[in-house]
Chain A
Amino acid sequence: EAQVTQNPRYLITVTGKKLTVTCSQNMNHEYMSWYRQDPGLGLRQIYYSMNVEVTDKGDVPEGYKVSRKEKRNFPLILESPSPNQTSLYFCASLTTGQGGEAFFGQGTRLTVV
């Protein structure tokens, strides 16, 4: 079954404590992306990766890092989380060349206190 798997689903952390949200896809997609979703602001792209070792900033990259060492994994790293990063995060894996249909993970609800 085609899947994008994020972990953890829920996370409460304190300001400044580094955390990583993992994302893995089993569809051999080259393109992966991270979004955050906030009430009234919709889905906003944080970072994307067009292939292994190729990453680029989206619309709201400040405070986040990503890496793409292998095709299936695309972790999101918050080196020093702050309360304004409290949000619902989604990882997505996209087909390319045929319209870029996005497959989303189940989401990670992050609270930074």
Chain B
Amino acid sequence: SQKIEQNSEALNIQEGKTATLTCNYTNYSPAYLQWYRQDPGRGPVFLLLIRENEKEKRKERLKVTFDTTLKQSLFHITASQPADSATYLCALAATGGGADGLTFGKGTHLIIQP
């Protein structure tokens, strides 16, 4: 069956360091992969999208990589700040433009300590 795995344990990072979150998937051929941020009790907010033919995408302090051979995406936050503390979700859409919508991982809770 299709599976999306994110580290379920909280990730504690010291302020100023780079935080790296992992998203692994199995039995899936995603056309693209997305990353969202979710704060407690609020809806997820879109951060970045990377397509299957792209290796890396950047946006300000954020960087995403996508390795379709390893079936893995890495999400990096450089120069991390306490305000980056949140849960980060990866989401996959199958080929065909997302006709079945997005399937989300369970998320990784990131804590940036001052």
Contacts and interface: CB of A to CB of B under 8 A. Distances in A.
A107 B41 contact: yes
Nearest to A56: B100
B72 to A, nearest CB: 18
Interface string A92-103: 101011011111
Contact of B41 (A35, A48, A105, A109): A109
Interface string B47-71: 0010100000000000000000000
Contact of B46 (A33, A103, A105): A103
Interface of B: 32, 34, 36, 41-46, 49, 51, 89, 91, 93, 97-107
Contacts of B45: 104
A106 interface: yes
Nearest to A47: B101
A31 to B, nearest CB: 7
Interface stretch (A36-44, A60-68, A72-80): A36-44
B104 A42 contact: yes
A31 B36 CA distance: 18
B42 A107 contact: yes
B113 to A, nearest CB: 23
A50 interface: yes
B41 A33 contact: no
Given A99-B51, A106-B42, A94 B104 contact: no
